[in-house]
Amino acid sequence: MRRRLQAGERRVPVGKGLIDFITRIYDVAVVGAGPAGSTAARILAARGLKVLLIDAKKLPRDKPCAGVVSAKTLSVLEQEGLGVPQDLVEAEIYGLRAFGPNMEPVCMEPACEAGISLPGRPRLGITVRRRAFDWFLTEAARNAGARLIDACRLVGVGPSAARDTYGGLPALWLDTSKGRFEARVIVGADGVSGATARLAGIRLRFRWWELARTWSMDIPVNLAANRAIPVTNVAEIYFPPIPFGSGWLFPHGDHVNVGIGYAAFTRRIFIDSDGPSSQSEPHPAFSAFLNNLARVKGWEIQTISATKPGGPKEYLVPAGGFRRPIACGQVLLIGDAAGLVDPFTGEGMFNAVRSAKIAAETITDFLCGDFTGYRPAGRGGRAPAWHPIAYEYTRRCYGALLPELRRSLILTAVFFNKGGLFSRLLRRDPRRAAWLARVMHSEGAYRRALTELLLR
């Protein structure tokens, strides 16, 4: 006769059921193998947890991105024992150049030629191909012991019928295109359009004022008929006459990446007055930016079509700085899924790996430590009706990242027309522009930026 199970005990199956039991039940399931998901999976697996990493796409995959990995992102990865190998580096950035609405330099010589930099001219970042860089991070997670399943889309999440298993935490099930898995904690790292937030009841979608739109494309170096595109160690930032918008030109090995980003809500109000836009043709604001760039650089650019391979791509970016739910129960959101992109610069990978690290540390503390007596202190001394992991992750993540994101959001709002007041301020005193380099180089630069730009 079968022995009756005690509370919290789970019957271990035999045969095929045993294999399923072993391969389908995890401590942590990470959804999305971008920089955020792969970093979280690697840290968790390295700390001895059983980790599943799934991605909807067949890996390695492409991702529309300017491909700048800032020096501060590199140092977070290095702190976790992961140095980026030199063969992934397409260009090293030591300086920045800024250009006003008419493509004129906003900083005086000599700062403009070599680019705005910091004392000692430290490296501000590198450029990478996202396909290779993300795959490098995913491989590192796999080498640390995480199980990777690609072409595996998350379609459902819910509490498992087997309550009170796995050391007191109720299990969650994940339905995917490759079957059902169970985990004690789920980390949603599935990007701006990811499903985890919605399926776990954290958030239906980002609100319209929280999103930015981007148009970007790679231009091969040999595309310029008249003059070679200089592939230097300087990144170029443009302030075209687009409200809440800016443009960029970043050097890569054999190409440059150019693009614009602007608040999604300005699309109809301001920009579409230039003419209709459809997915098959680049946005008029992007075409105008590209034409102006071609004019000042002396490039000859043929007709550009968004439907052609290598043509410009439109993509959404979720701006950070807003306090929104990023966790619920045993489901935590990180990276773009949590909406942690720097609203002023559009840099997302730094907070993707920072939030991944914070989530991994919180999960390890709870799964490997004793949290039975943990009572999160809510407002007025009352414990909020949250799961402790969700509460603790939100507290740690926003405690570490929100102040800087808020400062960046304030700067974005004050200088909504970067081609106007912002360019004038930089032109008047080019030293002010050094904070742009500092933002790429080290954490905490916005506090000083606010003082330097607004109070000087």
Ligand X SMILES: Cc1cc2nc3c(=O)[nH]c(=O)nc-3n(C[C@H](O)[C@H](O)[C@H](O)COP(=O)(O)OP(=O)(O)OC[C@H]3O[C@@H](n4cnc5c(N)ncnc54)[C@H](O)[C@@H]3O)c2cc1C
Q: Which residues make up the interface to ligand X (CB under 6 A)? A: 31-37, 54-57, 61, 63-68, 153-154, 189-191, 194-195, 214, 216, 259, 315, 317, 335-337, 341, 346-350, 352
In angstroms, the CA 194 to CA 271 distance is 27
Contacts of 40 (CB under 8 A, 6+ apart): 30, 187, 189, 334, 356, 357, 359, 360
Cβ closer to ligand X: 346 or 388? 346
Query: Which neighbouring-strand residues pair with 149?
Result: 54
CB 69 within 8 A of CB 191: no
3 state SS of 7:
coil
- The token pair that represents 374 in the structure block: 């943990």
| Closest distance to ligand X from the beta carbon of 65 (Å) | 4
CB of 56 to ligand X, least distance (A): 4
Cα-based angle 264, 267, 273 (whole degrees, multiple of 5): 175
CB 440 within 8 A of CB 71: yes
Cβ-in-10-Å burial (0-12, 13-18, 19+) of 92 comes to middle
Q: Identify the sign of the CA torsion 208, 210, 215, 218.
A: negative
Residue number with CB closer to ligand X (38 or 430): 38
Looking at the Cβ atoms of 197 and 426, the one nearer to ligand X is: 197
CB of 200 to ligand X, least distance (A): 12
Q: Which is nearer to ligand X, 52 or 367 (CB)?
A: 52
Q: How far is the CB of 168 from ligand X (least distance, A)?
A: 28
Tell me how far, at minimum, the Cβ of 262 lies from ligand X, in Å: 12
How many residues comprise the chain?
456
**198 to each of 156, 189, 204, 225, 338, how far by Cα in Å?**
10, 13, 5, 48, 12
Nearest-approach distance from CB 269 to ligand X, in angstroms = 21
In the bound complex, what is the minimum distance in angstroms from residue 449's beta carbon to ligand X? 18
For ligand X, the nearest residue by Cβ is 348
Nearest to ligand X of 83, 381 (CB atom): 83
Residue 290 or 452: which CB sits closer to ligand X?
A: 290
- Rounded to an integer, what distance in angstroms lies between the CA atom of residue 295 and that of residue 289? 10
Nearer to ligand X, 335 or 430 (CB): 335
